């Protein structure tokens, strides 16, 4: 059972040329024949970040030089972290017709969707640096980003696989999890800082695993190392995700075609 699940992952990874091309095609085809092309991907992030910076910067007494890169980095990194709630529920249900007609390993669909989110992240990362330069707050990324990014990718891959499998079995999760994702967006320090709230309410971030996953990417992009607490949350999320994947995916993966 475990051997077949591991073999599924190996076979899926071996098809990296296929899911990389497919992810790139799906990302670019949406903006075909538009004037700005793929830069529309970053438009929403920049405009929303700017508006949030105006509002929250004024409320918290922070200037644009400080708050705009912080919020833009939050939106950028949450696009990867929030994969579990946004794209995860559609992993297998959305690919139902393909699963029924092709013998691809189930991990293929996970890798393809993760690759699409990663390509979008890489594209928007360039815009993030442009925004930082515009407010004279461009910093050299800290080397810990090279550690944080793989941790986040492994975490969203494992938990995303579980969420996709459960959503194929229990269809209500496809509608419930995006709402939970919206709730987690507001209780995660994306547009606000942990120091901006009272000590009694700091537990909102201290026990929020999304905060750890977010901060191990955003802090290095802003030029400094993530706090130790963020590493604890991120590593805890990754380890529990791997364990949960080993417990759930091997025994139930073969039922996916019947559930979709």
Q: What is the pLDDT of residues 82-91, one digit of tens each?
A: 888 988 888 8
Between CA 122 and CA 112 the distance in angstroms is: 15
CB neighbours of 250 closer than 8 A, spacing ≥ 6? 1, 2, 4, 5
Tracing tokens 């419930």 back to the chain, one arrives at 176
Between CA 90 and CA 165 the distance in angstroms is: 9
Domain count, the chain: 1
Does the global pTM surpass 0.85?
A: yes
Residue 99 covered by a domain: yes
- Chain segment 125-184, per-residue pLDDT in tens: 988 998 888 888 888 899 999 999 999 999 999 999 999 999 988 888 888 998 999 888
pLDDT at 187: 86
**CA nearest to 145, candidates 121, 127, 120, 162:** 121
Residue 33 covered by a domain: no
Residue 254 covered by a domain: yes
Domain extent, residue 176, equals: 2-25+41-259
Residue 32 covered by a domain: no
Residue 34 covered by a domain: no
Residue 228 covered by a domain: yes
- Chain segment 89-117, per-residue pLDDT in tens: 888 888 888 888 877 888 999 999 999 98
Residue 30 covered by a domain: no
The answer to whether residue 58 scores a pLDDT higher than 80 is no
Residue 115 covered by a domain: yes
3-class SS of residue 34: coil
């Amino acid at each position: 059972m475990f051997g077949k699940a591991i073999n599924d992952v190996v076979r899926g990874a071996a098809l990296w040329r296929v899911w990389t091309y497919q992810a790139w095609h799906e990302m670019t085809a949406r903006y075909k024949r538009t004037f700005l092309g793929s830069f529309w991907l970053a438009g929403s992030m920049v405009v929303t970040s700017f508006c949030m910076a105006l509002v929250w910067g004024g409320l918290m007494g922070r200037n644009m030089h400080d708050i705009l890169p912080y919020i833009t980095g939050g939106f950028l990194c949450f696009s990867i972290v929030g994969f579990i709630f946004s794209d995860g529920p559609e992993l297998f249900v959305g690919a139902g017709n393909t699963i029924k007609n092709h013998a691809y390993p189930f991990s293929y669909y996970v890798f393809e969707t993760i690759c699409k989110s990663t390509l979008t992240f890489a594209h928007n990362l360039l815009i993030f640096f442009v925004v930082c330069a515009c407010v004279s707050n461009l910093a050299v990324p800290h080397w810990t980003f090279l550690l944080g990014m793989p941790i986040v990718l492994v975490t969203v891959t494992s938990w995303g696989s579980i969420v996709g499998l459960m959503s194929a079995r229990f269809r209500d999760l496809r509608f419930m999890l995006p709402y939970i994702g919206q709730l987690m967006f507001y209780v995660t320090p994306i547009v606000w800082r942990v120091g901006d709230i009272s000590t009694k309410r700091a537990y909102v971030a201290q026990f929020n695993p999304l905060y750890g996953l977010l901060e191990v990417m955003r802090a290095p992009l802003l030029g400094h190392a993530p706090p130790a607490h963020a590493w604890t949350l991120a590593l805890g999320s990754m380890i529990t995700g791997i364990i949960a994947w080993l417990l759930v995916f091997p025994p139930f993966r073969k039922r996916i075609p019947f559930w979709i």
